[in-house]
Structure 1
Amino acid sequence: MEDNIDMILYNKTTKLILSDETNSRLPWLASGLLASVYGMWAMFVLPGFRKVPWKLKVFAAVSMGLQSRGYELNPILVTYAKTQAWWRGISQNQATFVRQDIWTTDLSSYNNVTVFLSPSVMETLEEKLSAELPDDARIIVCRFPFPHWSPTCTEGFGLDQVWAYDMLFLNKRRHTILKSTAQC
C-alpha cells in the first residue's frame, strides 16, 4: 500500500524550515543585542530625559528674555533639544544647542551657567568655572553638588535637587580663607 504525498511530506524533515534540532542561537543573539542597546540607551540617553525643574530649563530662560546656549556631546540629546525648541517656536537667536565639549569651551562671557554632569567631574568643573567665570556669575547645578563649594541656596531633594552658587560669594569666601591662613 502506498502512502499519499501528504504523509510522506509530513514525516520528511527539511533542513531549512523544519529540523529535529532546535537552533537557540538566534533568540539568544536577538536578546543580547536588545539588552545591549537598552543598556546603552539607559546609560547615555535616558538620564537626559529625566524631569528637570521648569525654572531651570533653557526654555524658561528664553521666556524671561535671556539668550541661552546649550552644550552637549550626545547627538541624540542635542537633536531632542533642537526639536523641542522648534516645536515651542523658539528661534535660534534665542536658544541654541551645540554638540561641543564644555571642557574646551571658553565660558568667560557667561553670567549664568546651568550644569547637568556626573559627580566624578564636579571637582574639575569647580576649577574651570572658578578660573573662567566673572564675579557676577551664578551657577546652577542639578543632581550633584560641587564637593568643595558652599551653595548660596538649594531647592528640591533627591535627584531633583538643585544648588545655586554665586561666584562673588565664593571668591569672597576664598579670599577670606587665604587671608586667615596667611596670618597664621
Structure 2
Amino acid sequence: MAYLDIYILEVIQCASEGITSTGVELNGILVVYSKYRAARDGLSKTAKFRRRNIFHTDLKPYNTAVIFGAENLMTDMLPKLSEMRSGTSLLACRFPLPECEQFKSVAQIGEGIDAVYVYLFMTLSQEEFERYRFERTAVVRERQKYGKYLWIPFYSSGEMPKEEMPPSE
C-alpha cells in the first residue's frame, strides 16, 4: 500500500470510529486529496488535514500520534515529540525511534516496511512507569470482562498491594 493511502486511511479510520483526527503534511497535493477523501466519506467534521511542517506544529493537544518518517528523520523528531504530554501514545511506522528514556517501547507490530513501533511517552521514572503500566493493564482486563463503563478505583496512596505488583526485572 502506498504511503499516501496509509496516511489517509489512518486519519479516516480514526474519524470513522468517532475520534477527532488531524493529519499534518507538508505536501499540499496530499492535503487536498486527503480532504477530498474525508469529504467523500462524510468525515470532514472529524477528519482534519493541515498543510504544516511537523516541526512547527503544537503536539500538546493530541493524546495519540502516528508518524510516517524517514529513517534519518527519526533522531531529529525526538526533541519535537518530547513536547507531547506525558501518557501520549506514539505509533512510528516503518522505522523505530532511537533509544530514548522518555519513550517506553510497548510493542512492535509486523516487520520490515510493514512494521509499526508502539511507544508511550512518559516523563516518569522506570518504577512509576511500571506501576502505571500495571494499573493500566488491570483496567483494560477488567473492562474487557465487564464492559467499558466499569469504574476502577486506583490506589490513591500510590502503593500497590505487594501480592499484585509486577515482578521486578
Query: TM (normalized to structure 1)?
Result: 0.61
**Counterpart for residue 87 of structure 2:** 136
**Counterpart for residue 114 of structure 2:** 160
Residues 16, 43 of structure 2: 8 Å contact kept: no
CA RMSD in angstroms, aligned pairs only: 2.7
Matched position secondary structure for 1:62: helix
Counterparts of 1:174 and 1:81, CA distance in 2: 42
**Counterpart for residue 172 of structure 1:** 125
Question: Which of 1 and 2 has greater Rg?
Answer: 1
Aligned residue-pair number: 126
Report the structure, 1 or 2, having the larger helix content.
1
Cα offset for 1:95?
Answer: 1.0
The residue type equivalent to 1:158 in the other structure is: G
Counterparts of 2:43 and 2:63, CA distance in 1: 21
**Counterpart for residue 73 of structure 2:** 121
Unaligned runs of 5+ in 2: 130-169
Residues 105, 118 of structure 2: 8 Å contact kept: yes
Report the structure, 1 or 2, having the larger strand content.
2
Counterparts of 2:38 and 2:72, CA distance in 1: 30
**Counterpart for residue 145 of structure 1:** 96
Counterparts of 1:95 and 1:122, CA distance in 2: 25
**Counterpart for residue 16 of structure 1:** none
Cα offset for 1:175?
Answer: 8.9
Equivalent residue runs for 1:31-50 within 5 Å: 48-49=3-4
Counterparts of 2:88 and 2:128, CA distance in 1: 17
Q: Percent identity, please.
A: 33
Unaligned runs of 5+ in 1: 1-45, 177-184
